[in-house]
Amino acid sequence: MKEQTEVRNLKEGRYVIIDDEVCTIKAISKSKPGKHGSAKARVDTIGLFDGQKRSIVHPVGTKIFVPIVERKNAQVLSVAGDVAQLMDMTDYTTFELPIPAEYKDRVVEGNEIQYITALGKIRIDMR
C-alpha cells in the first residue's frame, strides 16, 4: 500500500518509492527558488530490499508516492541452511524467508524476530 505526499514533506529516515522500489531517505537538500522557477529538492536514498543507491531531483511541490512500511514480529519455526520458516505472531500465517548473512547467528528455532513488509515484499530486519 502507498500514499501520496509532496516532496517538501519528506524527512530523513522515512521511506519513499523510487522506480517501484521502497527506499530509505538518507539525505535531502533543498535549493532556493530562482527568478524563473520553483525551489528544487534532491533526495538521496538507499533501497530497503536491494541496497542500491538512488537519487531524485524534483520541485518541492511535486507529488510523490510514500509506501506504508509495517514492522511485524514472527516466531522462527525451523531453519534449513540459509532459509527460515516463520510464523506471524498476529495472524499465524507461515512463510519462508532467506536469512541475511549478518543475522545468521541470531535466527534460531523458537526465537522471536522482526521483519519488514512493504509493497508485497518481505525482509528480516532485527534492530
Q: What is the pLDDT of residue 89?
A: 92
CB 3 within 8 A of CB 64: no
Per residue in 85-110, pLDDT tens?
999 999 999 999 999 888 888 888 99
All cell numbers assigned to 41: 529538492
Per residue in 9-35, pLDDT tens?
999 999 999 999 999 999 999 999 888
94/75 same-domain check: yes
74/56 same-domain check: no
Q: What is the pLDDT of residue 36?
A: 82
Nearest to 84 by CA among 101, 107, 102: 107
Per residue in 37-94, pLDDT tens?
889 999 999 999 999 999 999 999 999 999 999 999 999 999 998 899 999 999 999 9
113/96 same-domain check: yes
> E-assigned strands of the chain?
2-6, 15-18, 21-30, 40-47, 53-59, 63-67, 70-80, 83-88, 94-98, 112-118, 121-124
51/94 same-domain check: no
75/57 same-domain check: no
All cell numbers assigned to 85: 520458516
CATH number, residue 20: 2.30.30.30
Containing structural domain, residue 12: 2-67
Query: Cα–Cα distance between 111 and 127 in angstroms, integer?
Result: 14
CB 17 within 8 A of CB 119: yes
Q: What is the pLDDT of residue 35?
A: 85
Q: What is the distance in angstroms between the CA of the first residue and the CA of the last residue of the chain?
A: 24
111/87 same-domain check: yes
Number of domains in the chain: 2
- Res. 6 pLDDT band, cuts 50 70 90: very high
Q: What is the pLDDT of residue 93?
A: 93
Nearest to 115 by CA among 99, 91, 104: 99
Q: What is the pLDDT of residue 41?
A: 95
63/77 same-domain check: no
42/85 same-domain check: no
Where do we find the cell 514533506?
A: 9
Q: What is the pLDDT of residue 37?
A: 85
